[in-house]
C-alpha cells in the first residue's frame, strides 16, 4: 500500500524559500503524477501543482511565478519549493498521488508557519 | 478556468438523516471529471467519489455521486456519526477545489 510522508521545516521567515520533500513508500514513483496541495488554517484546499514521473510539471497560475516542483526517482521522492514567502503562505502542505480518478492517497500533511 | 461553487456552506443534520451536497461548475467539466473528498478535523482529505459517480476503494455505498450538466451532487443516504466532516469537490481540468461544505451535527 502506497504511503506518502511530507518533511521539512515547520517555521520559515518571510521573503525566504520554503522547501518540502515528500517520500513515497510501498510503491514506485514511476508511472504517476505527484501533487502538492495546501490548506491555510481554517480554510479550504488549494492546488499548488504536480509533476509527472518523467519531469513534466503543471502549476496553479496564481502561484506559478514562485513555485518549483522536482523529483528524485532514485530516492522515490518529490519536492516543493515556494519562494518569496509571506504570512499568507502559512498552511498545512499536503503531498498526494494524482491519478485519473483524483488525488489518492495523501500524506498526513505538515504545517508550515511563515513568521520572523 | 473552471470555478466550483459548493452549497450550502454548512449543513446541520442528525445521524440517520440524508445529506445532499451541491457543487456547481462555472462551465462544463470534461467527461464529468469531478471528484469528492471528505476531510475530518486534523486529517488529510480522503477520496470518496471520482468521475462524478464512481466510489473509491473502501467507500461505503451510502455515499453516492451524480451529475446533471454543470451541477454535481454528493448524497449521503443515512448519516453515520463518522460522516460529520467537511466535503470538497474538485475538477480535473485545472485541479481546483470548491470551497467546501461542512456537515455538522444538529
pLDDT digits (tens, 9 = 90+) for A5-37: 999 999 999 999 999 999 999 999 999 999 999
| Contact between B14 and B25 (Cβ < 8 Å) | no
Q: Which residue of B has its CA nearest to A47?
A: B96
Most A CBs within 10 Å: which of B5, B44, B48, as the mutation test of the A interface?
A: B44
Cell numbers that stand for B83 in this block: 460522516
Task: For residue B67, name the pLDDT band (cuts at 50, 70, 90).
Answer: very high
DSSP B97: B
Higher pLDDT: B17 or B29? It is B17
Mean of per-residue pLDDT scores for chain B = 95
| Contact between B94 and B1 (Cβ < 8 Å) | yes
Whether B92 has a pLDDT exceeding 80, the answer reads yes
| Contact between A79 and A22 (Cβ < 8 Å) | yes
Asked if B88 lies within 8 A of A104 by C-beta distance, the reply is no
Most A CBs within 10 Å: which of B36, B45, B55, as the mutation test of the A interface?
A: B45
Task: For residue A56, name the pLDDT band (cuts at 50, 70, 90).
Answer: very high
Question: Chain A contacts of B88, Cβ < 8 Å?
Answer: 44-45
Check whether the bond before B8 is cis (ω within 30° of 0). Answer: yes
| Contact between A72 and A21 (Cβ < 8 Å) | no
What is the predicted pLDDT for the residue at B34? 95
Amino acid at each position: 500500500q502506497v504511503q506518502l510522508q511530507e518533511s521539512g521545516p515547520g517555521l520559515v521567515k518571510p521573503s525566504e524559500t520554503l522547501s518540502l520533500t515528500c517520500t513515497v513508500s510501498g510503491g514506485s514513483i514511476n508511472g504517476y503524477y505527484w501533487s502538492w496541495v495546501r490548506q491555510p488554517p481554517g480554510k479550504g484546499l488549494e492546488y499548488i501543482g504536480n509533476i509527472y514521473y518523467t519531469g513534466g510539471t503543471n502549476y496553479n497560475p496564481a502561484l506559478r511565478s514562485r513555485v518549483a516542483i522536482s523529483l528524485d526517482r532514485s530516492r522515490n521522492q518529490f519536492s516543493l519549493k515556494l519562494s518569496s514567502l509571506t504570512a499568507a503562505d502559512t498552511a498545512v502542505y499536503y503531498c498526494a498521488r494524482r491519478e485519473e480518478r483524483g488525488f489518492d492517497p495523501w500524506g498526513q500533511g505538515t504545517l508550515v508557519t511563515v513568521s520572523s | 478556468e473552471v470555478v466550483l461553487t459548493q452549497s450550502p456552506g454548512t449543513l446541520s443534520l442528525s445521524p440517520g438523516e440524508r445529506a445532499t451536497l451541491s457543487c456547481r461548475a462555472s462551465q462544463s467539466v470534461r467527461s464529468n471529471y469531478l471528484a469528492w473528498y471528505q476531510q475530518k478535523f486534523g486529517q488529510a482529505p480522503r477520496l470518496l467519489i471520482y468521475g462524478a459517480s464512481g466510489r473509491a476503494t473502501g467507500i461505503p455505498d451510502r455515499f453516492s455521486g451524480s451529475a446533471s450538466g454543470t451541477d454535481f451532487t454528493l448524497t449521503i443516504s443515512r448519516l453515520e456519526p463518522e460522516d460529520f466532516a467537511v466535503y470538497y469537490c474538485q475538477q480535473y481540468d485545472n485541479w481546483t477545489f470548491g470551497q467546501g461544505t461542512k456537515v455538522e451535527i444538529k
